[in-house]
Amino acid sequence: MFAEAQYDSVPLPEDFPHGGDVQTAAAFWGCDAEDILDLSTGLHPDGPPVWLGDWLREHAHLAGRYPDPRGEPARSALAHALNVEPGQVLVTAGAQAAIEVVFQAMGWRSLAIEVPCYSEPLRCARRAGCAVRGFASGEPPKADALWLTSPHNPSGEIRSWPVGRVGVLDESYMP
């Protein structure tokens, strides 16, 4: 199903915009929910690490207020850690929000994306009127932009950015 193709024909049910809803996905694809290995949520099958409970108790007092609406403390810390200017850092309420912003802002007409992949870039590209070309391996097809995920899901391979290409290297799950 995920061979190189024009991805305007890949079925993406619009009634569940993000992963984790295996019941709706099973009904859509006509299978049992137990047969779906959902790699879309980033949840560990064994639950959260033991240390997280202690950290949450220690920092619970911070839950009584909103963070800086511009994300400045996070933007500055990330810029410093990545050795870039703060203006080069986009702080959002999660990857899905960032993906939306990228497609709204960039105005790309075409996108090459490695498949299989997280479906949100496909969905956002379509909403932005961007033609999508999927590729399974090898040299990415020509397009205004390239979208890679590292580590790639489901292969787990670490990707590097090809010289001379414009686009996004999604490292949301980089260890």
User: Cα torsion for 123, 125, 131, 134, to the nearest 10°?
Assistant: -60
**Is the model's pLDDT at 31 over the cut of 60?**
yes
Q: Where are the beta strands (DSSP E) in the chain?
A: 5-6, 110-114, 131-135, 145-149, 167-170
In a domain, 34, yes or no: yes
What are the angstrom distances between the C-alpha of 140 and each of 1, 114, 123, 136, 165? Answer: 18, 8, 19, 9, 10
Range of the domain at 157: 5-170
Top pLDDT among 43 and 62 is at: 62
**Model pLDDT, residue 129:** 93
Q: Residues 147-169: what's their mean pLDDT?
A: 86
55-59, 110-114, 143-147, 171-175: segment of lowest average pLDDT? 171-175
* DSSP strand pairing (110-114 vs 131-135): parallel
Number of structural domains found in the chain: 1
What are the angstrom distances between the C-alpha of 24 and each of 15, 120, 144? Answer: 8, 16, 33
Q: What is the CATH number of the domain that holds 24?
A: 3.40.640.10
**Model pLDDT, residue 130:** 93
- Provide the 8-state DSSP code for 118: -
In a domain, 175, yes or no: no
**Model pLDDT, residue 100:** 92
Percent over 70 (pLDDT), the chain: 86
Q: Which helix (H) or strand (E) holds 120?
A: helix 120-127
Quote the CA–CA distance of 111 and 146 in Å, as a whole number.
6
